[in-house]
Every structure is written in structure tokens, then in C-alpha cells.
Amino acid sequence: MIKIAVCDDEIKIGADLERTLMEIFDALKIKNEVDVYFGAREFISHLENGARYDLIFLDIEFAKDEINGVDVGRFIRETHENNIVSIVFISWEKKYAMELFEIRPLNFLVKPLEHEKIEHTVKTFVKINGLISGDFYYKKGHTSFKVRLKDIVFLENNERKIILHLACGKKEEFYGSLKETYHEQLQTTDFLFIHASYVVNYDYVIAVKYSELTLTDGTVLSISPNRRNDVRTAYASILKRRRV
């Protein structure tokens, strides 16, 4: 299920965009849910109360709010510390390009919105996230659990246990082999096997050096000497493939 938010104070644009997005995702046979907000503060309030989205279409100008879409984008990236959600800015003006750069948007669409450009943006989002979709399965005793792959930041080997570090801040532990788990469930996804103790989700990596990489929350993990070449090659391959 892809969760989408549309935040625009122009009711017709918000309603039209909601309908268009549902049609595009339905045609792609991707389950989706679209929430529409008509004010920046209303949207921020829902985020503060736990609302989470995979894709956000965010207007820049709000007539009745003293904050604008750029402020909301900064709140999402900096205050809310969400570096994963894809943000698409929309506006009647083309002048915001430099302000938006630091927020790392997926795209910037100029009104009136064109179906072809919305569809291209959606397909870009789907392509970027396509190989990281699905679930990760693990067992505790006789009970099976699953978690979305996109919610895993990294897996850590701790003696005979594997620790799942999740984007929400929680950790889950279960018995298993990190090497076997990687080859059985993660080898064909965008996870990097960087060390005998670590398998990392590419989406949470913000910097890669020769002997270490840094995650979005500031965590620094070592890359073992015998994996450095493979990690650099895999990282470059993912980066190249994801460019649309």
C-alpha cells in the first residue's frame, strides 16, 4: 500500500490531483491511499500526530497560512527528520528552484498540472522504490513476523542474533545468520552487505567513504576491507539504475 498526501489550498486542484493519482496508481496495479489537506498547518499537525506517507505532493503558496510549502518541506526533512519520503512540489511560479534544492524533492511541477507530467513523476517514484518493495520475514520461537523492507535501516549481527534497526527507532531481535538472511531475502534488493556484522538499506545511506558509510541519523558503520570494492561497485550500480 502506497500512502500519498496532497497538500494544496486550492480545492479543485487538490481534488483533481487526488483523482489523477488514484487513476495512475490503479492503472499500475499498485494499491494506494490518498489523503488531501487544504492547509500547511493542518498537514503539519497530522504529521506531528503520527501520519506517515511514502509520497507527498506539496503546494508552495498557501493564501491563508503564513508558512509556505518550503517551510513544510524543511519541517519534514529537518524537524521531523524524515529523509525517505518523496516530495513533489507544485506551484504557479517557477522561481523556487534554489530554495528547494536543500529539501531534495523528487520533482517540481508547475501549474496547471499536466497529466503526462504527473504520470512521469509517479513512474519515477515507482522505479526508484520498485526494488525495495515487499516484506522481510523473521521468526521468534514458533511465531512468524514481517516488516516492510523500506522500514529497515540496517541489520546488525550480534553473536547468534540479528538486530533489525527500524526507521521508527525501534529494534527487533531474532536468532539467525546474517549471511544466510542476506542471501535468502536481501541479495536481490538494494541492501548493501558491508561487513560481517552489517547489512544496510541503501535508502538510508547519505555518505560513503573508503572504509565507512554514514546513515541519515548520523550512525557511522565500518566497511570491512574485503568488502570495500564490492560495496563501491554495488553502490554505484544502484545509483546509476535509479537515475531516471
Q: Which of 105, 97, 142, 102 is nearest to 124 (CA)?
A: 105
Cell 481534488: give the residue.
15
- Under 8 Å between Cβ of 56 and 5: yes
| DSSP string over 138-170 | EEETTEEEEEEGGGEEEEEEETTEEEEEETTS-
Is the overall model pTM greater than 0.85, yes or no? no
- Residue 77 shares a structural domain with residue 10: yes
The amino acid occupying position 45 is S
Q: List per-residue pLDDT tens for the chain, 244 residues long.
A: 789 999 999 999 999 999 999 999 888 777 889 999 999 999 999 999 989 999 999 999 988 777 889 999 999 999 988 888 999 999 998 776 666 777 889 999 999 999 999 999 998 888 777 645 578 999 998 899 999 888 999 999 998 999 999 999 999 999 999 999 999 888 878 899 999 999 999 989 999 999 999 999 999 999 999 999 999 998 888 777 665 4
- Residue 96 shares a structural domain with residue 30: yes
- Residue 143 shares a structural domain with residue 114: no
- Residue 122 shares a structural domain with residue 144: no
Q: Which of 137, 132, 220 is nearest to 176 (CA)?
A: 137
- Residue 39 shares a structural domain with residue 100: yes
Backbone angles phi, psi at 86, to 5 degrees: -85, 130
- Residue 31 shares a structural domain with residue 119: yes
- Under 8 Å between Cβ of 201 and 154: yes
Adjacent-strand bridge partners of 173: 163
